[in-house]
Amino acid sequence: MSAISLQGLDISYGSAKVVEGVSFDVAEGESFALVGESGSGKSTVLKAIAGLAPGWTGEISVLGQPRGHRPGRGFARRCQMVFQDPYGSLHPRKTVDTVLSEPLQVHGLGSRDARVEEMLRAVGLDRRFRFRYPHQLSGGQRQRVAIARALMLEPKVMLLDEPTSALDVSVQAEILNLLKRLRAEQGLTYLMVTHNLPVVGFMCDRMAVMNRGRVVEIAPATALHDGSFADPYSRALYAASGGTAHD
Ligand SMILES: Nc1ncnc2c1ncn2[C@@H]1O[C@H](COP(=O)(O)OP(=O)(O)OP(=O)(O)O)[C@@H](O)[C@H]1O
């Protein structure tokens, strides 16, 4: 069974079709990247999977369950998304404790105190952060909170939309290391949007290269070592990132 399966996915905003004929499968436990330049439709694919892009046709399945246009309650317990900007995605007047407790409350789950403390520990924040507000945290700490919130319901699949690109360079590596460790510890599957090919080399097993709403190539991350991309657009993207093909 695939963690994520997309078949013939078309996505439109009004009359503008921005994603066309996208099909790929992400295996359980895999870390899979969507790469391509700005505007190629990467984030839109994640949003459609998460139920945040209404105008799509084709098939989307997560952990073997086909999804309609309105994800049911159970969906949040299987699949969660982390956004690029941790400041924008956290409510300014809610404490970390409230942000982390809410998913449990919505789903009627107990042991909130213990679970909040456990997740703070898992993302490397000590207990003094529990009753702070977003403005009292650094960018990296906020993204740790956003990751903890996504993991509160113990999902198996995480959709990561440029999870480090809004952060200072010095903090990016810390968050990538955290995501890598969490995936190993919790057996997570990642589908990650990035325009940063070194991040793919560090974090991912395979990648789909997108250009103007279409997937032009699916390649193993090892293609980043030797530039063994088949499609001319992928090769250009690789060359633009400073890579040199050895073929
Ligand atoms: N809410 C929206 N309404 C209308 N058009 C949109 C909306 N969101 C995105 N688009 C358009 O859809 C296309 C794909 O955008 P998308 O954000 O998916 O690209 P991307 O590859 O993720 O790029 P970026 O890295 O800049 O986020 C772009 O042309 C964009 O302008």
The predicted pLDDT at position 191 comes to 98
Structure tokens at 189: 């599957």
Helices 139-151 and 169-186 meet at what angle, rounded to 10? 20
> By residue range, what is the domain housing residue 122?
2-240
The domain tally of the chain equals: 1
| H-only helix segments in 51-187 | 75-78, 86-89, 96-106, 112-122, 139-151, 169-186
Q: Residues lining ligand 1, CB < 6 A?
A: 13, 18, 36, 38-44, 193, 195
The predicted pLDDT at position 246 comes to 60
Closest residue (by CA) to atom 9 of ligand 1? 44
Closest residue (by CA) to atom 3 of ligand 1? 13
Residue 24 within a domain: yes
Residue 245 within a domain: no
Residue 117 within a domain: yes
Pairing of strands 189-193, 31-35: parallel
Identify which of 11, 18, 162 to mutate to test ligand 1's pocket (most ligand atoms within 8 A of the CB): 18
Q: What is the pLDDT along the chain (247 residues), one digit of tens a residue?
A: 899 999 999 999 999 999 999 999 999 999 999 999 899 999 999 999 999 987 999 999 999 999 887 777 789 999 999 998 877 788 999 999 999 999 999 998 988 899 999 999 999 999 999 999 999 999 999 999 999 999 999 999 999 999 998 899 889 999 999 999 999 999 999 999 998 999 999 999 999 999 999 999 999 999 999 899 999 999 999 999 887 766 5
Residue 247 within a domain: no
Distance 119 CA to ligand 1 centre (A): 32
Residue 246 within a domain: no
Closest residue (by CA) to atom 6 of ligand 1? 13
Residue 10 within a domain: yes
For residues 83 and 71, the answer to whether their CB atoms sit within 8 Å is no
Distance 44 CA to ligand 1 centre (A): 6
The predicted pLDDT at position 53 comes to 85
Closest residue (by CA) to atom 31 of ligand 1? 39
Q: For the chain, first and last CA: distance in Å?
A: 35
ipTM: 0.93
Residue 58 within a domain: yes
Residue 63 within a domain: yes
The predicted pLDDT at position 54 comes to 79
* CATH code assigned at 168: 3.40.50.300
**What is the SS3 string spanning 163-232?**
CCCCCCHHHHHHHHHHHHHHHHHHCCEEEEECCCHHHHHHHCCEEEEEECCEEEEEEECCHHHHCCCCCH
The predicted pLDDT at position 41 comes to 95
